Structure 1
Amino acid sequence: MFDLTLSFDNGPEPEVTPLVLDTLRARGLLATFFVLGRKVAQPGGMELARRSHAEGHHIGNHTWNHATPLGEITEPGAAAAEIRRTQELIEPLAHPDRLFRPFGGGGNLDRRLLNPEALGTLLDDGFTCVLWNAVPRDWAEPEEWCERALDQCASQPWTLLVLHDLPTGAMAHLGRFLDLAAERGARFRQDFPPGCVPLRRGHLAHDMTGYVTAGATG
C-alpha cells in the first residue's frame, strides 16, 4: 500500500488536457494542475482551467512562460512578474492556499528553483510552494514512463508525482498507469506530503536555502 498524489504541469493543452480530465473523472480521482499563465491566456485555455476547477481539481501557478528556472533569472522584477502575472489571471480559480510550483528544469530540486526575489514574492504574497518527490520523465519517454512511475511510488510511503499534460503522447498511457497503481495498492489523495511543501501560506515550513540562488537580484 502506498499513498499517491497526482499533479500535472505545463498545461493546459487543448489536445491533451481534456483526455486527462476524462481519464481522472472516469476513475473518480482528483489532482492538481499547475498551469502556465501564457497557456491559460491562449484561446481555450481559460475554459480548460475552468473545467478542471469545476470538476474538483486544484489549480496552481507554474509561472507565466516556463522558459528559464527562476533561480537563473537575474533581471530585476522578472521573477516576480512570472509569478504575479499568472496568479492575477488564475486568481478566480486558484486554490485558497495560492499553490505555486517552481520550474525545476527537468525535475531538479536545487538552487535553480528560485532566486531571492522569487522567494520574497512567495513570502510577501502568501503563497504555498509545492515541490515533488517523483518525476518519471513522461515528457522525455512517453512510452516508458509508467513502470518508472510505479517503481517510484513503491519506493516511498507517499508520492507526489509530477506528470505533464503535454502533446507528447504520454497521457495516452495515463489510464493504464492509474489502473496498475490501483491494483498495486495506491491510495489516491489530493493533499501533499508535508516534506514537499517547504512554504505554506507565506510561512516557512522547512529550510529553503537549498532551493534559492545565493546572493541578491535587483
Structure 2
Amino acid sequence: MNPITLTFDNGPTKDVTPYVLDVLARYDIRSTFFVLGRNLMDAPSRALMQRAADEGHWIGNHTYMHDVPLGLSTDPDAPEREIGRTQALIGDAAHPDRFFRPFGGGGELGPLLLNPLAVDYLRRHRYSCVLWNSIPRDWDDPDGWVATALRQCAQEDWALTVLHDIASGAMRRLETFIQKALDAGHTFRQEFPRACVPMLRGTPVRSMRALISPS
C-alpha cells in the first residue's frame, strides 16, 4: 500500500506532545513537528521540542501567532515577525532545510497561504515550503478523523498527513490510526512527497502561483 508521512502542527503542547511522542516511539515512526513560535516562549516547551528532535523527529516552522494567513496580511513586517521570530526560537533544533509550513486557515490550499513578500522572505532565507495532501481535520472531528484520514491516505500515492498535537482530544486516537494504517498495508516514512514541497532551500521547484495572493 501507499506510504504515509505524518506531520504534527501547532505544538508543542505540554499535555499532548509527550503522548504523541510516546506513541510514535512505540511504533518506531519518525515525523515532523511544525511548531508555533508562541508555544516556545518558556523553557519546558522548548524542552519538549528538543525531545522531539533528539528522538529523530524533524522540527519545522508554522508561524508565530497562527492567526492570519500570510496571504491575507498586508503588513510588510509579517514575514519576519511570523517566520523569522519563530525560526530564532527553534534555533539549533531546526532541520538544515529550514522547513516552513504556512498557516492555511482550515487546511485549504490556495492564495491565502502566502503573499509576494512572504515568498521573497522564504527565498532569501533559504526555507523549504512544505504543504500537504491529506488533512482529516482532526481538530474539528476529534472522534471521527481516523476514518477520514485512512480514506484520504488510500487515495494518495504518497500521503502527507497533517495532524495537530493540541488539546482537542483527537490524539487519543493516534495509535488507532497508526495500527489501522499498518493493518491496511501502509508504511510510514519521514520524507515528504516531492509534490508537497514547492520550494526547496529557497528555490521554487514547481509553480507556486496558486499559493500566492496578488498583493
> Is it true that 1:161 corresponds to 2:167 in the alignment?
no
When normalised by structure 2's length, the TM-score is 0.98
Matches within 5 A, 1:99-138: 99-138=99-138
> Is it true that 1:212 corresponds to 2:212 in the alignment?
yes
104-113 or 70-79: which moved more? 70-79
CA contact (8 A) 1:59 1:94 kept: yes
36-45 or 168-177: which moved more? 36-45
Equivalent position SS for 1:76: coil
Equivalent position SS for 1:92: helix
Rounded to whole Å, the distance in 1 between the matches of 2:101 and 2:26 is 27
- State the shift of 1:43 in Å: 4.7
CA deviations on 1:101-145 (whole Å, 9 max, x unpaired) are 000000010000011111111000000000000000000000000
2:80 equivalent in structure 1: 80
37-46 or 53-62: which moved more? 37-46
Rounded to whole Å, the distance in 2 between the matches of 1:41 and 1:191 is 28
Identity, % of aligned positions: 49
- State the shift of 1:187 in Å: 1.2
2:38 equivalent in structure 1: 38
2:192 equivalent in structure 1: 192
The AA in structure 2 aligned to 1:25 is A
The AA in structure 1 aligned to 2:34 is F
Equivalent position SS for 2:150: helix
Rounded to whole Å, the distance in 2 between the matches of 1:42 and 1:72 is 29
Rounded to whole Å, the distance in 1 between the matches of 2:193 and 2:177 is 21
Structure 2: runs of 5 or more not aligned: none
1:48 equivalent in structure 2: 48
Rounded to whole Å, the distance in 2 between the matches of 1:191 and 1:90 is 20
Rounded to whole Å, the distance in 1 between the matches of 2:60 and 2:47 is 15
- CA root-mean-square deviation: 0.7
- State the shift of 1:75 in Å: 1.3
Rounded to whole Å, the distance in 1 between the matches of 2:138 and 2:42 is 24
Rounded to whole Å, the distance in 1 between the matches of 2:27 and 2:139 is 23
CA deviations on 1:153-172 (whole Å, 9 max, x unpaired) are 11111000000000000000
CA deviations on 1:20-63 (whole Å, 9 max, x unpaired) are 00000011000000000110113521010000000000000000
41-50 or 125-134: which moved more? 41-50
Rounded to whole Å, the distance in 1 between the matches of 2:5 and 2:61 is 17
CA contact (8 A) 1:2 1:156 kept: yes
> Is it true that 1:182 corresponds to 2:182 in the alignment?
yes
The AA in structure 1 aligned to 2:167 is P
Q: 1:117 to 1:80 in 2, by over 3 A?
A: farther
